[in-house]
Every structure is written in structure tokens, then in C-alpha cells.
Amino acid sequence: MESKKGKSESGSKGISGKLMRHFTLDEVARITENFDVEKIIGEGNFRKVFRGKLDDGTEVAVKKLSRSAKEGPRQFETEAKLLLKIHHKNLVALLGYCDEPENKALIYEYLAKGNLHENLSGKNANFLTWDQRLCIAVDAAKGLDYLHNNCNPPNIHRDIKTANILLDEHLQAKISDFGLSRIFSSTNGTFITTDSVGTRGYLDPEYCTSRSLTKKSDIYSFGVVLLELITARPVQGNEHVVDWAVREVKKQNYQRQIVDPRLDGQYDSDSADKLVTIAISCVEKAAAKRPDIHKVHADLKACRDLTLERSQGTASKGGASSISSYNDVQPSSIEYHSSTQSTSSSSSAWSNLWRGFMSIDCGAPNDYHDDNLDIYYKTDQGFVSTGVNMQVSSQVIYQNKQQQGKNLRAFPDGTRNCYTLSPERGKRNTYLIRAAFWYGNYDGRNQTPKFDLHIDVNYWSTIYSDSYVYEEVIYVPPEDDINVCLVNTGSGTPFISVLELRLLDNSTYQMDSGALATSWRYNIGGGSYTYRHPDDEYDRIWAPQNYKEWVQIANETSFDLTTYNDAYGVPAGVLMTAAQSAKVNKQLVLFWTPSSPTEKWYMYFHFAEIQVLQETQVREFEVYIVDQLVKTIRPLYGKPMTVASFPVTSPSQINFTLSVTSRSDLPPILNAVELMYGLDLTNPMTDSDDVDAINNIKKTYRVVQDSWQGDPCSPRNLSWNGLNCHYDSIPRIISLNLSGNNLSGSIPQSLKRKQTIGALQASFDRNPNLCQTDSCSTSTTTSNGKKGKSPIVLIIAACVSVLVVILLGTLTVIWRNKRRKGVSAVSVTSTGPVEGPMVLGVPRSQTIFTSSEISTITDNYRTVIGEGGFGKVYLGILYDGTKVAVKIPSKYSVQGYREFQAEAQLLMIVHHRNLVSLVGYCDEVENMALIYEFMSNGNLRQHLSEYNTNVLSWSQRLQIAVEAAQGLEYLHNGCKPPIIHRDLKTSNILLNESMQANIADFGLSKAFATDYDSHISTRPAGTPGYLDPEFHASGNLSKKSDVYSFGIILFELITGHPAIIRTSDGNIHIIHWVTPLIERGDIQSIVDPRFSGQCKTNSAWKAVEIAMSCVMASSSQRPDMIHVLSDLKECLGLEIASERNQRSGYNSYMGRSTSFEMTSVELNAAPNPR
């Protein structure tokens, strides 16, 4: 065992024996062959690094401190102190140390591929491909994200550079060299005042001038590293790589100049654009504009995944063969405006959550964030149940620069196929809905299909174009769900590329028809730029329009529109350009011919003065629509003004005229215009109760019929097969025929009630497995027709049997303990600090305590705060007043001692803000103890208990779920090798004074032998109710076993029930209890009734879906924790957005969208000027 002086011989045993080896100078000399100069693999100001080999053949890197170095010992101590505490697979691992006074050395894992600088500069034979560079960037960002956001308190590296990013034999990147690192004094610290140190070229300019060190200083250095990965240029040449890159990216076809020419075009052009954008955002001069590393990592991962998907599927067309710039979108020639704010703010990724966005990339394989528009696109999974995912032809895929539109969903089967959108704010609110289409010869037939588009039950438009087109409608839905349907008219297979929904201000776009179809939305005088989000908070598309007959004018000074309460929210960039007539007395006129004399048109004209007028100058004009005076206006400088027209119809021509008044000495001006026509919503929707009932049937019985899409009864020619409807003012379902559909289970009570009162005639003949009585058995029917018990019942029975055994064992231990002589309570006052071992002159991260010190700390074991099969946990107080938890294993439990060793060894190498920290230990043979940080708010099970009067809110529960997921994701994916907890449960999730969740109790944890193992064969262990059934049956332990347990925890958070629910009829597992409620769609019965209606339906269903995915019977169907964490963050974001909007009187739906250049489908000829 390690002595109080901190040395442990190589053959020592005990808690720390396997974790951090102490080497003598002779051992270090033997490892490095007496510090052979031929073994030197690195050299710096204060040290040399030698390649060595341990006695067991393990290769290591030995960093030896130079005796003459003045600053060396301080940096050495800093690095040792940090690496003794932290652990992550993307940080270099410390294996041991030598601490002799004149001979100090650190022994690390050896990384065979050297450092990144050598690999980029050509100093070794290894050439990095584009895909490899992206993977290295992701690895390094993940390591830095751990230091910044998952260490407690956070760490700043201070010397991020390519020479300090090392590569193992698999080219996995690991950050090294922590000698200059600094640690915040607390978790909430934001900066440290200190002298600027680091490496020239990588040093943050703001840090150099202000001496304020922040996380953003590392971000700048990391941005320089990204530029090196892209360009392979030296940081300091004739010109700094940042200055050079910022200048070059402004040029057309910049990729040819900036991307490493040795790649010879073998890279994905889209990912190159994205990576350059990320890098430039990191090296912003102002630290406040740089993103957080968590966002950088997420963006890099999306960039890498995009590239890998393409390289594994269709061949990547990079370099000169691709469209060279994001703005060069085909088939449109319009340049898209890129807002400088979209990638600079670390919080921008969440901004769309509060704006009521739903953004769906139809047919896309994965979710992703579009940085150019700062909108998050989701796949269409969960929004539609039919159709097939397709990709446009590889011959044209690169004609459209944006990601959206490269995939699509086609619907070869059925007449009507529908997407169902369920925005948070629901019915009677105003939404902009946009559907985009690009055929792209995806089927190789080169035959453009023609089909109809419906909004709910009414005709919207006909789609027939081989270009990238979109249709847009402003809609006030009568129900909470909105159906967007594609209808096959016999002229080709319907398809869709993108579907977007945006919540608008209800005070704008007034209509009497319930829906306005957008015909044109023009940025007058806007040059070549098209504006969308983030410039437009509602993500409207403002296409440039420059009429030759009009004079284009612009203002280069940006407007500050925040001082005006303008509900229309026209972007400042749109208002800063305009057109005026060539002469003062010449009118501005637009006119067009409607497609029908009964067509109602709605017009919105946007004005702002953009020229600074002299005191004597006046601009005043009158607005006429169809020759009727609407308003006289005098626009003010920088102040937006909107004139909305009344509904207009005309048998021939509609015109709009601006004419100056007699007082005006300047011509009329127009900045932007929106022209829309009313949709004819004549078809009524089916009664909402009937819709709910039939959808419940569809879900319960998993009815799969092509016609069962959209509204059941309306329109008549598209009603569902098997239904008969009565068509009055509101269609009603009067009969249902599901005979011969191979249904099983029982008939829903809601359907039975309708039958009983005569509101519905239903036929379920020829469904032998369907129970049509009230006394349906809960047993299942096997394939041979025999009744058998439910698998979940069998699982619960097995788990309860294990519980009985554990309880008997616990009673035996308690009986033995009662026979022991009790220890009298003695009041002890601590007289001084509890000293721990020293490493390189600094305290170890865990302190060794003697048994007498443990007795003093716990006041002679006075207060028990926890108890289990392992032993007891006592409250303790250190000399400085810090509260701790002291776990004492039972002397009569062999298993307790094993778990004690396993937990101690694990917690001495792992560190994460969402794992309970080990403060120290006592390893005396008869008096072992583990000392942890104290969690003042107990465990999660106590807070969920029905006896707890302080009920956790829904948002608190989601926050706890996210934090626990972060800790588990670190164990699974951040540790090397990965670690499986094996005993996740609500009582092992502890809460500190801030209610932050920390995973505890690692006594059953197992580590994989290597990074690449998938399972461990071991005996089943864990807690009944949480134990993975597949692990219990096979003995194969995998990460997915923890995922199952985590799913149970999620259900406990959602419902408030324990894993095994005790009822008057016996015990029932929570999965068995919740499954029928999920099948009925009864979310109100699922969620904890103590919420009292404060739980939002959308986020609750999202959480249920995540939990169900975690507890799938087959482990292969369960998600990895990184996906669970991502989904939970999305769910929490939805709830936070909803709470904020409630406080501000504004509701929203979570979602985001990306922008792409498009040509609008014009139903009429564009308006003409004169």
C-alpha cells in the first residue's frame, strides 16, 4: 500500500497498487536504456521525452525534467497534479512517475503516430486524408470539451497546438502537455487573471492584452489548429495563418487556395465549407463571439458524419469538381446572404427552440445543425409512417450546395400520404408552413412527376417542376395537429424534400380564409442577396428583385431595429435596400393578373427611410391599391412601417401604386413587398373526437393500410378504407369494418363506449386473437396457440427471487452485527489538517486517512446517512468544515470488500462533474473506508417517493436526467477502456446542494479489457427491477445493459413510481404498468399526477419515447448513451423554451430549420413594374 509519504513500490498491493505506479530512478533508466539519445522522441525547454518499454513489454513515453530548468518543476507539478485527477480517452494517460529530488519524470502511454504537427508538416511518412483530419478534430474537441465542461472545476489548457495533440496507432487524437494548465477556483468561475503564456501563433490576442484567461482562450488556439488541419500551412510564416485564411475565404472558389493542395481534391466540398466556418468562428478577435467548445465539438461531429456517410455511400466529389461556395446554389443563381452572427454565438444552437420552429429534412439519414442558417434539421422519423428514403441522382447532387434537398422521401404506394405536425402552441395560432421539392432524377427515369399538395383536408397547390421549388402557406389550423399531404393524381410518384413550420405573431397576416398562399416575397433593390434565418426571426425567404425601370438605392449603415416593436420583423438587411422612381413625379406601379376573378389577394408593403434627409427635404407619398387610396405615409429614417391591404379581387388586373403628394420633393420609395392569395378551405375536417378514437385504434392495433393517412373522412374521395362517414356540417364516422385484419389484444374502452351508445357500428370478425369481452386475460398467446405468461412477468418473477435472496443475506449480516459489542459515542474535536501523500511536492487528488482519523471525522460513527449490503455510510466533517460521506464496508461481507476495492480503484482514475468524487480512503486491513464528497440533497429515489412533499418539477427531472446521462456517457464513451456501471438506479443518483445529479456506487462496475470490446462475460449482478433481462439470461454484459437500467430511471422520473410498483394485487414492474398506457396514448395517466398539469405534453411524450427506446428487449435495438443524451437535451430544451415563453406570454415548439436557395413556384406571372 502507498505510504503516507506517497511512494508505492512496483509490487505493492491495495487500493492504489494498480493505478499509479511509482518508479525509482534506476527503473526509469532501465526503461529508457539509460536515457539513450536514440530513444528521444520529443524535446522542449524543460524536458526531453524518451521512448521506453516496461518489463511486461508495454511501450511508454518518459518525460524527464531537465535539472537546469527554472520553471520546469512548477510545470511538472501542475501536469502531475492534473493528470492524477482527470481521465478521458482523448487526453494522454499518465501511467506513473519518478519523484526523486534531482530526477523527476512522468511516464505516459506511448502514442505510436507521433504528434499532429509532424503528420501535417510532412516530417513523417504518414499522410492524413480529409476524413482522418476530421476525425482528429472531433477527438481533440471532445477532449477539450471534457476539460472545459465536464471537470469540476473546469480546466483551461493554455497551450493547445498541433504539437500537443498526439495520435495513437489508430490515429485517435489525445491532448497532451498540461504544464501550463490552470484550474478555475470554482465551477462557476469565468476567468482567471494571470500573465499570458503559451506558444506564439496559438496565443489568444485578447488574453495577451487583457491578461484575463478564459475558456475562449483555448477556443482561439483550437481554431488555429483547425486551420492547420485544413491548410497544412505553418502558423507563423510570412503571414499568420489566421490573417491569411480570413482574407482568402472572402474570395470566390477559395477552397482551391485554402485546402491543403496535397489532398488533390479528395475531400468533400460541403464539409470543407463547414470546417472553415467553424475554424473562423473560433478565431474571432473578440472572445465573446467565439463559440463554446461543446458547440464546436457538436458541429465538427456533424461535419465528420456527413463526410463519412458520403464516403461510405456515394463517392465524395470534393475540390474543384464541386460547387465552390455556399452561395453558388444551383439551379438558382441568387447569392444567399450569410449572417455574421449565425456561427459566432455559443448559444445560437438553442435560439430556435424559443421561436416555434419545426424543420424536417425529408429522407435525410440523421439530424444535423446548419450553421449558415443556425437552424437544426431533423429527419422525418416520427412525422410520417409511409414512403421510402431516396437520394437525388449523383449526377446532379452537387448542383444544390445546401444539405437540404439532396435527400427526399418518395411515396410509390397509396393515393394520399401525410406528414403530421404537432406544434407546441397548437390550434388557432398563425404558422408559416413551407414544403420544398427537388426531383433531381432520383429514380433515374428523368420524368418529372406531377401531384397535388394538401394542407389538412384542402387543396393547396400542384407540384410539377424539375427545379428546386417550394410552396409556402400562412395557416391558422383548426386543430392541434396539422397534416401536410401529398396526393397521387396518376402523373407520377409524389415526393418531398423539406418540410418546415414557423410560428408567427398572431397580430400579423390577418385573413378571413384561414390560409394565405405566398406568391411573392421580394427584397426590393436587394442586389443578389436572399435573406432567411437568422436575419429573419420567422425564417421567411426574401428573394431579391431589381426592376430596371426603378432606381436601386441602399444604405451601408446597419439599422438598429430593436427599439421598434414591429410585429412583422422585416430583417434590417432587407429594409436597408429599396427602389424609387427615376423622377420625383413618376409613380411606382406594380401590376399582375390573377388566375381567377374570385381569387382574393392580400398585400403587405414594407417601408423605411434609408437616406438621411436634409431639414428641408420631404418624402411623402400615397399608397393606392386597385386605384383606391389606402394610406398616406412619410417614412422615417430606420423605422419600419408596414401597410397591409384589405382582401382584393379583380376580374382582370390588380395594381399597386405609390404616388407623391404635393409636399414631397423626393420620389416614392419601396423596400419590400409580400403578395399572397387566399386558399379556398371548403372541405370540413372530421369530428375531433372521432379522429382521436380512430387514431387510437390505428395505434393500438398497428393498422397498416395505405389509405389510413390524414383525415379519416375528408375529402370524400380520400376517406379511409373500412370507414363509413356521415357528411353533414362536420363529418362523423358511423361505421368501422376491421374484419380479417389479424388483430390481437383487446378493444379499447373508448371504442366500446361508442358501440354501447350506438354512436358507432363496428365489425371485428375473423380476428381470432382479438379479445372482444371485458374480461380479457393479460397473458399472451404463443405461436402454437397456447397461453403463456408475459415475458415481462417472467423477468419480474426472476428479479423478485433475487431480491428475496439479497434480503435474507442482509438480515443475516444485521443479526451478526447485533452480536458485536457496540462502540460508545465519543465527541471528538479535530485539531488539525488530515495530511495526505505528496506527489512531486503537491497533494494527491485522493487523501489517505488513518482509522483514527476516520473515527474523528465521523464523530465516532455517530450519524448514519445510508445503508446497504456493502455496509453503512456515515456523515463526516473534515478539519476545514467540509462535509463528506464515509462508506464503511461490512467486516462480515466478502462481497463488500471486493466492491470496496473495485470502487476505490475506479474512482481514483475517473473524474467527471456528474460522478461522485472520491476525497480519500483508508486501507487498513481491519478498518477500510471510502470518503466521498457529501451530497446534501440525498438520492433521487427519496425525492421521487410519494412521501416526499417537495415534488420535483418536470424541468428539474429532465435536468437530472440530462446530468445523469452525461455521467454515464462519459463512463461509456469518454473512458479508456470503457466502463459499465452495472447498478444504475435512482438510489445511486445523488443530488448536491444545487440539485445537480451525480452517479454513485461503483462497486459492481466493470471495465472492458480494451477500447474495442463489445461485451464482458460475467455473472448477472445488479438490483431487481433495473437488471437488463438480456444480460440476466445470457451473462453477456455490455453498455446496453446500463442503457436498460437508465431507461427504468427515466420511467421513474416521468411517472414518479418506483421500478417495482406495489399494488393491492401484488407487485408489477414499471414497464408492465406503463406499456398499456402508452399503447392507448394516455399521457395524462403516465406522468406523475403531482405535476398538476404543469408537464407539457410534447416534452413528456418525447421523454417516454426515449425511455422506451432504452428498454427494448433486444440490446441491439437500444441506443448508445450519446444518442440518449442528445435526445434528452432536446427534450429539456423544449421544456425550457415552453417555460420561458409562458413567462413572456409566448409559446413555441422546439425545432429548427436550415436554409437553401430556391426558386418559388409562381402560380401567376410575376408582377410587372411601370
The position carrying cell 495533440 is 165
Closest among 451, 468, 448, 335 to 397, alpha carbons compared: 468
Closest among 731, 743, 733, 734 to 698, alpha carbons compared: 743
Identify the DSSP state of 1152.
-
Pairing of strands 761-763, 780-781: unpaired
Tell me how crowded residue 562 is: count the other CB atoms within 10 A of its CB: 8
- C-alpha of 1077 from chain center: 28
Is 887 annotated among the ligand-binding residues? yes
Q: How far apart are CA 641 and CA 607, in angstroms?
A: 5
Closest among 1029, 923, 1098 to 356, alpha carbons compared: 1098
Q: How far apart are CA 963 and CA 444, in angstroms?
A: 48
Helix ranges (H only) for 374-419 are: none
Closest among 531, 515, 533 to 523, alpha carbons compared: 531
Q: How far apart are CA 1004 and CA 1031, in angstroms?
A: 14
Q: How far apart are CA 995 and CA 942, in angstroms?
A: 13
φ, ψ for residue 469 (rounded to 5)? -125, 160
Angular region, 889: left φ>0, alpha ψ -120 to 50, beta rest: beta
* Residues shown for the chain: 1170
Identify the DSSP state of 149.
I
Cis peptide before 412 (omega within 30 of 0): no
The position carrying cell 357500428 is 761
The dihedral through the CA atoms of 836, 838, 841, 846 has a sign that is: negative
Burial class (CB within 10 angstroms; exposed 0-12, middle 13-18, buried 19+) of 853: buried
* Helix or strand holding residue 1153 (H, E): none
Closest among 773, 765, 785 to 746, alpha carbons compared: 773
The dihedral through the CA atoms of 514, 515, 520, 522 has a sign that is: positive
Q: Is there a contact between 495 and 1138 (Cβ–Cβ < 8 Å)?
A: no
Pairing of strands 847-848, 918-924: parallel
The position carrying cell 473506508 is 929
Radius of gyration of the chain (CA): 34
- Show the 3-state SS of 1079-1110: HHCCHHHHCCHHHCCCCCHHHHHHHHHHHHHH
Q: How many CA atoms lie within 13 A of 1072 on its CB side?
A: 22
What type of residue sits at position 1095? C
Q: How far apart are CA 629 and CA 504, in angstroms?
A: 28
Pairing of strands 529-530, 335-336: parallel
Q: How many CA atoms lie within 13 A of 854 on its CB side?
A: 25
Angular region, 1093: left φ>0, alpha ψ -120 to 50, beta rest: left
Kindly state the cell numbers that stand for 19: 493505478
From the candidates 983, 1028, 1042, 1088, give the one annotated as an active-site residue. Answer: 983
Q: Is there a contact between 986 and 940 (Cβ–Cβ < 8 Å)?
A: yes
Gap between the terminal Cα atoms of the chain = 93
* Helix or strand holding residue 871 (H, E): strand 871-877
What residues form DSSP beta bridges with 1129? none
Closest among 487, 476, 414 to 453, alpha carbons compared: 487
Check if 270 is active-site.
no
Binding site, residues? 887
Binding site for ATP, residues? 887
User: Which residues are identified as catalytic?
Assistant: 983
